[in-house]
Structure 1
Amino acid sequence: MVHLAVRLAPGASADRIDGWDKDAGGRPVLKVRVRARPVEGEANAALIKLLARALGVPQSAVAIHRGGQSRTKRVRVEGLPDPDLKARLTDL
């Protein structure tokens, strides 16, 4: 199980992963945009779907661990070691 920090931007023109950035504390955070609006969990669902597709894992392996109501989220990914996760996200 791996935890991933994500900064989500809902209401974008396209679903895409913009790459890595740093948060205010200097920690790495993955920047992600989704078309879905933050209404009734639609943006969170779109985030899970996009990350699962990009990482090549089932949607059931991806879950929001913390920050469901926030732009900055902690996402849990099951069944993928940390080096593989970072390699798959770097190749995007």
Structure 2
Amino acid sequence: MSGFAVHRAGKRGAIRFSVHLQPRASKNEIAGLHGTSLKVRVTAPPSEGLANEALIDFLSRALDIPRRNVCIVSGFSSRRKVVEISEVELEAIQRLAV
């Protein structure tokens, strides 16, 4: 995938990638790439962790996996986040950026 940085992390075989999150968007969607990050728009506001929860919910639905398999590793109060996803194929993550 050109420009989209995705890699395996840890012994569990989880996959990590960066996300550029845009809160208060008109709809929840993947909006392509922002540098090497996946750009995701969510309707939730950035206060009280609502945008983070919306991101986790959106990615779990997009990948058809349980919410417990999606974790924000860093960037809790930033637009740029590192997300770790377990029990999913690398190709499924790469298809998100298409």
Q: What range is the shorter-chain TM-score in?
A: 0.7 to 0.9
Shift of 1:82: 1.9
Deviations 1:34-84 (A, max 9, x none): 110011100000000001111111111001000001000000000013233
- TM-score scaled by length of structure 1: 0.86
Number of the residue aligned with 2:68: 60
Counterpart mapping for 1:79-90 below 5 A: 79-87=87-95, 89-90=96-97
Report runs of 4+ in structure 1 exceeding 6 Å deviation: none
Which 5+ residue runs of structure 2 have no aligned equivalent?
1-13
Which 5+ residue runs of structure 1 have no aligned equivalent?
23-27
Number of the residue aligned with 2:16: 3
Deviations 1:5-47 (A, max 9, x none): 000010111111112231xxxxx11001111001110000000
Give me the identity figure in percent: 40
Matched residues in 2 for 1:2 and 1:51: separation?
13
Number of the residue aligned with 1:43: 51
